[in-house]
A and B are shown apart, each in its own frame.
Chain A
Amino acid sequence: MATRLIVNGIDKAFDDFQALSNVSFTIEPGQFVTLLGPSGCGKTTLLRVIAGFLEPDQGEIFFGDQVMNEVPPNKRNTAMCFQSYALFPHKTVYENINFGLRMRKIKVEEQEKRVREVMEMVDLVGLEHRKPYELSGGQQQRVALARAIIVRPEILLFDEPLSNLDAKLREKVRVDIRNIQRSLGITTVYVTHDQAEALAISDVVIAMNKGKIVQKSDPKTIYNHPSTKFVADFIGSANIISGTCLEAAGSTAVVNTSLGILQVQNTGLIQGDTIFLCIRPEDIVPDVSENVLPDQNVLTGEVLNAVYMGSSLDLFIRMDTQHIVRASVAKDTWVSEGSQIRFIVHPDKICIMKG
């Protein structure tokens, strides 16, 4: 029943600004895919092309094996939750949420039941008869969300649906969205700015930059093995350093970096390659023992700042080379600012990126 979504070679320009260039990907039936990327990279534009509000200059959209390019938006059976909410200002909350069901000629009792369910889910009970301008920003956003989810379409499109909610509610609604989506097997494209959210709920994360797709992977892969500097930097925080390969033999390679000489995994490097390395702050482990294992990178530096983050302690460490490294260590680690620290980075935890 669930639908496969194929986006094939989409180009879209506004005047002479290329908003999407050669965007292609496939989303398997029932998958939950997140689009992640900086502001203005074309996420909304892509959703609008999928929903049919914008005609692409090039390329096709398939739902299953049907080409959708010529199908008007009202015949596409998608539901979109708009970034601008796009609530009908002259209709009440109830009428807004119910709109899609009414268009689909669902029985009235069924309509009422489903509206009640979804209003409970997004915590709007009691506001049925308000007009959108009588709601707070977060309440308006939840109406927009409810209005899209309720129709149970083939494909759900979310454009930052939770951006205006407080952390607690966001987490609850996010889980609810995921449960509904799973139980009904609706293929879903979800746009967010929040990379933690993307990693938490997606089957697949697609990273976009400047109208292009940079990487499409499952959350673990995209976090641990970002394919470019952009992805490493955009998703999570990362120490990105440049380096030159000194020696590559067998399973390990030796790289000269701005942190010093490091051993890394050999991913087919050739001596003389210039590469970028990504080290996640939480992969930097303070070393208290005296004995050093031969396959570890052991480094020392001076703690410039120790910032208490609640769940962790973030250290900014200045290396001998003046390069500053960020480390995220256990919250009860005892360090004082200005002291020397010795730490370990396991070669497996260093991700190598070309250019």
Chain B
Amino acid sequence: MNGQLIKSQKKLTRRLLELLLPFGLLSIIMVWIGLPILYALLWSLVNPEYPWSYPDLFPTNLSLFQWEYVFKYTTIVKSIGNSFFLAFLTTIACFMLALPTAYALGKRKLKGSEFFKIIILLPMVFPGMAMGLFLGRMLHVMGVSGTYWGVVIVHTLVALPYMLRILIVNFESMPQDLIDAASNLGAGNWVKFTEIYFPMILPGLVAGAMFTFITSMEEFNLTFIVGAPDITTIPTVLYSYLGENFLRTRASVVSLILLIPNLLFLIVAERKIKTEYMGAALGKM
């Protein structure tokens, strides 16, 4: 009798915990991410005729004035185009460079792979500004500063280590027996690449591409040093409102513009990874 009571009590506690835990996590995420977004959204909608000031909890009058202004009278549309274009090219460049390198380091086990793997990670620990100034000078000498090429080069340099890291791990964790089985059944190099290697590293590739894309979209330091003033992207426009002529309302608009595509991309890519490739990646071997 008593035992049963305790049992049912325990069950209840567990139920409660099961409910509370996701709820708690969700609240933390909401505070961490949701509040700033809400805040930015409200600020972006403030009507300049009725300033939002203490002690009002919410703006007294909402309008799309700032949104209209940003789209009508600034370079934002072109900058959005630039950002997407640069992120796209950077992703392609990273993919082309990382795939053969990761294969050589992860699968072929070349002499000194361990050493190269560490070298590759070095850019990740360099302070962005320090690297940016040096790189900016170098690209200037090369005559590509202020061009799309120059910006793609620096974005690629920043994102490549992450892409490489992910792909090297992918290649390393691929069982040799699988590759041997394909050759054994008559597959040549092309088939091995398209039917075995590629599908198996696809999850890593998608994750790497997602990361590269977002890194490129958000990169400010290097874009500014190498690209300004000819090439503007969403972050450089955003930073221009954070300087001396600080305009919270306008900055809010631009930061939302920067956030929305990234967020969408993340959600779509996440879903895609889950449904399509997780199975393959986590398949029992």
Interface of A toward B, CB cutoff 8 Å: 48, 51-53, 72-74, 76, 78-80, 82, 84-91, 99-100, 103-104, 131-133, 140, 147, 151
Contacts and interface: CB of A to CB of B under 8 A. Distances in A.
Given A82-B180, A147-B185, 6 more contacts: A72-B183, A73-B180, A79-B184, A88-B181, A100-B185, A103-B191
A99 B178 CA distance: 13
A104 B178 contact: no
A100 B186 CA distance: 6
Contacts of B186: 74, 100, 103-104, 151
17 contacts: A51-B180, A53-B176, A72-B183, A73-B184, A78-B184, A79-B184, A80-B184, A86-B177, A87-B181, A88-B195, A90-B200, A99-B182, A99-B185, A103-B185, A103-B187, A131-B283, A151-B185
A89 B185 CA distance: 16
B92 interface: no
A101 to B, nearest CB: 9
B188 A74 contact: yes
A82 B280 CA distance: 19
Contacts of B182: 88, 99
B48 interface: no
B279 interface: yes
B180 A89 contact: no
A52 B181 CA distance: 11
Contacts of B178: 86, 88-89
A79 B181 CA distance: 9
B280 to A, nearest CB: 4
Contacts of A90: 199-200, 277, 279-280, 283
A115 to B, nearest CB: 14
B39 to A, nearest CB: 44
A143 to B, nearest CB: 11
B184 A74 contact: yes
Contacts of B195: 88, 91
Contacts of A91: 195
Contacts of A147: 181, 185
Contacts of B181: 80, 82, 86-88, 147
Interface in B165-203: 175-178, 180-188, 191, 195-196, 199-200
A74 B187 contact: yes
A99 B191 CA distance: 11
Interface string B84-106: 00000000000000000000000
Contacts of A131: 279-280, 283
Nearest to A98: B185
B282 interface: yes
B271 interface: no
Nearest to B280: A90
B177 A82 contact: yes
B284 interface: yes
Nearest to B284: A133
Contact of B185 (A48, A79, A132): A79
A90 B279 CA distance: 8
B185 A53 contact: no
Contacts of B260: none
Interface in B209-259: none
Nearest to B174: A89
Contacts of A79: 184-185
Contacts of A73: 180, 183-184
A10 B175 CA distance: 25
Interface in B264-285: 277, 279-280, 282-285
Nearest to A99: B185
A152 to B, nearest CB: 12
B175 A86 contact: yes
Most buried by A among B185, B188, B279: B185
A87 B182 CA distance: 9
A73 B200 CA distance: 21
A99 B175 CA distance: 18
A52 B285 CA distance: 23
A131 B283 CA distance: 9
Contact of A53 (B180, B283, B285): B180
Contacts of A132: 283-284
Most buried by A among B277, B279, B283: B283
Contacts of B183: 52-53, 72-74
